[in-house]
Amino acid sequence: MTKYFLVFLSSILLASEPITPIPKTVYVDMKKAKLGQELFFDTILSRDDSTACFSCHNVYEGGADSRKVSLGFHGKKGNIQSPTVLNARYNFRQFWNGRAANLLEQADGPLNNPAEHNMNKKDIEKKLNNSPYKKKFKKVYGTSKVKYKDVLDSIVAFEKALITPNAKFDKYLRGEATLSKNERQGYILFKQYGCMSCHNGINLGGNSYQKMGTFLEYKNDKEYPDRNKVSHHKHDINVYKVPTLRNISKTAPYFHDGSAKTLRESIDTMAKHNLGIYLTQEELQSIETFLYTLDGDTPSILETDVPQ
Ligand code: HEC
Ligand code: HEC
């Protein structure tokens, strides 16, 4: 009886929180995902065998790129900071400006981007059909030749497995852990000051477009692919998809332009530009401590070898 009551009570408490935990496990087709994992790490998908998805998305360390802007084909510089691929399945759209509806549409982008993999459908099929992948695709997809759509499908299956459950904060939401005084204080400030109005839901972000510089104007460099490049509305200048704050301690530098080197600097900038407030050192430190509780487990798929 008490047990049922506690479950009931915690579901009410959870329902009132604007953040939901990442599920401990999700269903993915493991055969496809393991094939996708191999491709994600393989430079075979780039024209000059120099670049893999992994080059710009370090899935062991936050899923993003520690460089200010990523380098791709022939060391060409991209024009925006690489966001994390971890928990990307929970974003409502993909890319900083949401130009891809989902992971499948997204994966087509870097493969064809001249500054990234610099490939195309035909060349990828040709390269893979002349490699040991031909057999591997046959095993998983039952096809006599590798098809581009299956290449994308397997990469997406892998990305769907990239979840980071069991963050301390998720455990707290499930009633399995308690927050320290400082972490709790940071969470209260995060809610009270209104960070939560943009960073909420399962990913603490990834579910709306917002302006960078709602209160205090933020420099606008026309080079960056903001929402305006998709919608062509004036009010979408410097508008981006709100990034997730999960594993945020591991994805420096921050912002679309990589301008904030540390997490503390990014919180300070956010408060000034998007809330119009100046936080004290103590408040900054508390919010930072709270954000550290959003670090989750390394995705379990990375802990098993890919079949040869
Ligand atoms: C040269 C570096 C580079 C390579 C290689 C690369 N990416 Fe990215 N990735 C980026 C950058 C930069 C962005 C953001 C671009 C934008 O939003 O305009 C991005 C965005 C993404 C996103 C969207 C995340 C979000 O929150 O919107 C996903 C998912 C992703 N990449 C997966 C992949 C996959 C899969 C591959 C391999 C097929 C790949 N990337 C290869 C740099 C790279
Ligand atoms: C009005 C909406 C809004 C509010 C309020 C807001 N943010 Fe943000 N946040 C954003 C947007 C949009 C970005 C992306 C900005 C960019 O890259 O230029 C962002 C980016 C960030 C980043 C960097 C993420 C990354 O991967 O680069 C952090 C950290 C962050 N916010 C924390 C906070 C904190 C802490 C607060 C409260 C003090 C806050 N935000 C308030 C919308 C908001």
Give the pLDDT confidence of 184-225 residue by residue, as tens digits.
999 999 999 999 999 999 999 999 999 999 999 999 888 899
Between 63 and 247, residue with greater pLDDT: 247
Q: Are 157 and 168 in contact (CB under 8 A)?
A: no
Give the model's pLDDT for residue 209: 98
The C-alpha angle with vertex 72 and arms to 29 and 231, in degrees rounded to 5, equals 75
Give the model's pLDDT for residue 1: 46
Kindly state the average pLDDT of the residues 48-56: 92
Between 49 and 11, residue with greater pLDDT: 49
Ligand 2 centroid – CA 242 distance (Å): 7
* pLDDT tens, position by position, 115-141: 888 999 999 999 999 999 999 999 999
Residue type, 165: P
State how far the Cα of 156 lies from the Cα of 150, in Å rounded to an integer: 10
Active site residue 61: no
State how far the Cα of 34 lies from the Cα of 68, in Å rounded to an integer: 30
Pocket of ligand 1 (CB under 6 A): 51, 53, 55-57, 70, 72, 78, 80, 82-83, 85, 88, 91, 94-96, 103, 106-107, 110-111, 116-117, 155, 225
Q: Are 41 and 54 in contact (CB under 8 A)?
A: yes
